[in-house]
Chain A
């Protein structure tokens, strides 16, 4: 603020605008915190039912739920499951946190090799891999970690890889209105590796191309080359 607001009235307005901004950010943070603690409380209420369900599963699998290693397993498993599905409670608005900036940039931005962990909605077994995201800003860029956070929101749910890819792409598209968004996910599905066909090295690749990535093959090719090279 030094030297920027020379006139006292102007200075007052200047400072007021600045403090308004602080207040607005604080309010958003407070609302976010409140929502978060409300959801945490809701999680806690549901814990006993989840625990009971896990205890019955353990017994029906033939295990002895009173042995030392399994004593607190229902609680831990229930909490783990709630963590692995926490994406249901989160929305893009929450995490974007106003981290969208006006920037005169309209070249491709790629964030690649984002580790992703999700749960297969058909077998409740994990699938995990890497996500590569590219977008061409339309004068609005987003904080880079926010792309990874968007991946987190949608992946911490019971998912199907195809839907996950699309949701990430559409989420970014709606938040930023860029010229184009491209999302590629390459993942290993434990439901195929640990059971069923049991193919250790198989990988599933899905992609969603929106906007200019869909229309222009050269743009798509540039994205694919840049994201696939080590």
Chain B
């Protein structure tokens, strides 16, 4: 949603506000749409009940002020964090594939990534770096980040996540090569278990020319991982 300074807008406030109201009514505000879409109202009560049980089994008082609506919020949060199951690459690519006479490396790096460890249901997060060598077809750059979102908003294992991102790009664009590197910190290792604060896990998948040609791979790694 946008933030308005009335003093700056002066006479056009009413007109602008009306535009925003119309925008909302016509479902054009994507951010709100995204978060509302993830809520599956059918399953919500059951997940809420499960969370109430969990809270009381952990020894907490479910009726105290801070926890009263927590089962509902936690259930909605969990649904948001696993919304990737409902999305497919085809939906989000939105036909943003363009014919372009370009065959040099395209890299989108430092894509913030947040996922859930499927073993402990605790977050892991980090950065994804993606590169591809177009084969006359380039994709809208934000779409690479959206592909990361689809696969990361699920119960994941970092190895599988990396591979899924690489395969999805490969299938959608049929490029000459795809490379994906993910570097993440796993809260299941940091907050519990071994409790190593600074450990991070790096996984990579190289397809096509990135796999065959060491020079291409080196170029990608140099351009991406250099600080």
Point out residues on A near B: beta carbons under 8 Å.
Answer: 46, 49-50, 52-54, 56-58, 60-63, 69-70, 72-73, 76-77, 80-85, 88-89, 115, 117, 121-126, 128, 158, 160, 190-191, 193-196, 200
Contacts and interface: CB of A to CB of B under 8 A. Distances in A.
Contact of A80 (B59, B78, B188): B188
B50 A53 contact: yes
B73 A117 contact: no
Contact of B51 (A73, A124, A193): A124
Given A69-B157, A81-B54, A158-B66, 18 more contacts: A50-B53, A54-B50, A56-B50, A57-B78, A61-B85, A61-B155, A62-B86, A82-B58, A84-B191, A84-B192, A121-B67, A124-B70, A125-B77, A126-B123, A128-B191, A158-B60, A160-B66, A191-B77
Given A61-B47, A69-B118, A69-B157, A121 B66 contact: yes
A213 B122 CA distance: 37
B36 interface: no
Given A53-B51, A61-B82, A121 B70 contact: yes
Given A160-B66, A195-B77, A80 B122 contact: yes
A77 B121 contact: yes
B119 A69 contact: yes
A123 B122 contact: no
Contacts of A85: 58-60
B162 interface: no
A50 B121 contact: no
B54 A190 contact: no
A61 B50 CA distance: 12
B128 to A, nearest CB: 14
Contacts, number: 130
Contacts of B120: 73, 76-77, 80
A217 B60 CA distance: 38
Contacts of B157: 69
A190 B77 CA distance: 11
A57 B47 CA distance: 5
Contacts of A56: 46-47, 50
A70 B119 CA distance: 6
Contacts of A115: 197
A61 B67 contact: no
B57 interface: yes
13 contacts: A53-B50, A57-B78, A61-B47, A70-B118, A76-B120, A77-B121, A80-B122, A82-B58, A122-B66, A123-B73, A125-B77, A195-B35, A195-B81
A53 B54 contact: yes
Interface in B72-97: 73-74, 77-82, 85-86
B85 A60 contact: no
B122 A126 contact: yes
Contacts of A60: 43, 46-47, 50
A160 B85 CA distance: 31
B60 A46 contact: no
